[in-house]
């Protein structure tokens, strides 16, 4: 695992410390890695939505029903 040295603003450092002190995470590193994983997952979802929007804009209206779109969205979120 790569080691990094990063600086946090005081409010962010306090928040990180509180999460560790409340036993939400065992260390700041674990918390930061979890936040990065969440951000990466969100980016995948954003990219998927962007692609769907671009496809819809280029092809006109979708033929998918509201239920089909909802199912596709839930499948993406649930992996």
Q: Taking CA 26 as the corner, what is the angle to CA 15 and CA 12, rounded to the nearest 5 degrees?
A: 15
Tens digit of pLDDT for each residue in 41-67? 999 999 999 998 898 888 877 788 999
Q: Quick check: is 14 in a domain?
A: no
Q: Quick check: is 54 in a domain?
A: yes
Q: Are 51 and 76 in contact (CB under 8 A)?
A: no
pTM greater than the 0.85 cutoff = no
Q: Quick check: is 4 in a domain?
A: no
Count the domains in the chain. Answer: 1
How far apart, in whole angstroms, are the C-alpha atoms of residue 21 and residue 59?
52
Half-sphere exposure of 47 (CA within 13 A, CB side): 6
Q: Quick check: is 40 in a domain?
A: yes
| Ramachandran category for residue 6: left, alpha or beta (phi over 0 → left; psi -120 to 50 → alpha) | beta
Q: Domain range holding 36? A: 25-78
């Amino acid at each position: 695992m790569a080691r990094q040295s990063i600086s946090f603003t005081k409010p962010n450092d306090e928040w990180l410390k509180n999460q560790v002190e409340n036993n939400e995470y065992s260390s700041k590193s674990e918390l930061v890695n979890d936040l990065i994983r969440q951000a990466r997952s969100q980016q995948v979802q954003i990219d998927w939505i962007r692609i769907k929007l671009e496809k819809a804009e280029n092809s006109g209206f979708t033929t998918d029903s509201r239920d089909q779109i909802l199912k596709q969205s839930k499948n993406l979120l649930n992996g």
